[in-house]
Amino acid sequence: MPTKTLPHQISAHSPTALRGAGLVAALLLATQLTACSSRADGSATQEKLAQAEAKILALESELAQLKARNEPSSPTAAVPAPVPVADAIAGAAPVPAPSEAAPVGQQWTYLVNEEQMTGGMRKTASVSSTNTVQFGFPYAGSQNGHLTLRTDPRYGKDVIFRIEQGQILCTSYDGCTVQVRFDDEKPTRFSASAAADHSSELVFIDDYARFLAKMRKAKRVRLSLDIYQNGRPVFDFDVSGFDVEKYQAKKS
């Protein structure tokens, strides 16, 4: 298996390695000359010995420098400077403030306008269903139901339920039945009648006083009635926060 070479290792055939090997060989030769010096005689031999010792010192110095250059230096990891607490807080993502709860009763719409024939004031309070329903062709599409309380100088007081499109199965001569559930009570039945103009999108729920009394004590009203070819869908209304004073106000 091939040997993996670390970045700081020197190849055996590199110029640096060859030079180091030559220095080592010269150093060994000089050492051998020194060993033979005790047996050598004469001034010439002493002079050569001194030159060899000087060469040894030079070779040792050069070898030490070469070794120092080839040894990898261990880098010191840079330690990041501590971030001041104030800066850390300032750089952090802002924490969103908790959203305020929606005002109770804002789903209601109150209107007061003049009835042209009598000059009296027509007053209404309306709310849309929190859910939507899907009818089949030709009334396809998502739609809400709408519940309206009305006080009219000509027609009196009514509870009106309306859909946006479709056909409520209720006639002006036979009437119909609407099933209503207040909060978690058992469903109760209210009689209803169709509009005089035979509009199929709305009905008038009878017994206004009973309906209003029970609704004022409730937070939720569910209403169900027959829709042509669409069964008896349930429309869910949030009636919390109903304000009778706004409903009976003299002006909007």
Shared domain check, 123 and 34? no
In a domain, 10, yes or no: no
Same structural domain, 66 and 114: no
207: region left, alpha or beta (phi > 0 left; psi from -120 to 50 alpha): left
Look at residue 169 and tell me whether its pLDDT is greater than 80. yes
Domain containing residue 137: CATH number: 2.60.40
Report in angstroms the alpha-carbon separations of 245 from 103, 123, 157, 161. 17, 11, 16, 22
> 178 and 58 in one domain?
no
- Determine, yes or no, domain membership for 4: no
**Helix (H) or strand (E) segment spanning residue 160:** strand 156-163
In total, how many domains does the chain have? Answer: 2
* In a domain? residue 84: no
Of 55, 70, 85, the residue at which a domain comes to its end is 70
One domain for residues 145 and 206: yes
The pLDDT tens digits for 72-115 are 544 444 544 544 444 443 444 444 444 455 578 999 999 999 99
The parent domain of residue 207 ranges over 109-247
For the ranges 169-173, 175-179, 184-188, the lowest mean pLDDT is seen at 169-173
Q: Calculate ∠ Cα 197-198-203, nearest 5°.
A: 100
* Per-residue pLDDT at 26 exceeds 90: no
Q: Write down the pLDDT at residue 224.
A: 98
Q: Are residues 224 and 143 in the same domain?
A: yes
Q: Is 114 found in the same domain as 55?
A: no
CA dist., res. 31 & res. 46, Å (int): 15
**34 in the same domain as 131:** no
Q: Quick one: 137 and 26 in the same domain?
A: no
100 domain residue, yes or no? no
Q: Are residues 28 and 132 in the same domain?
A: no
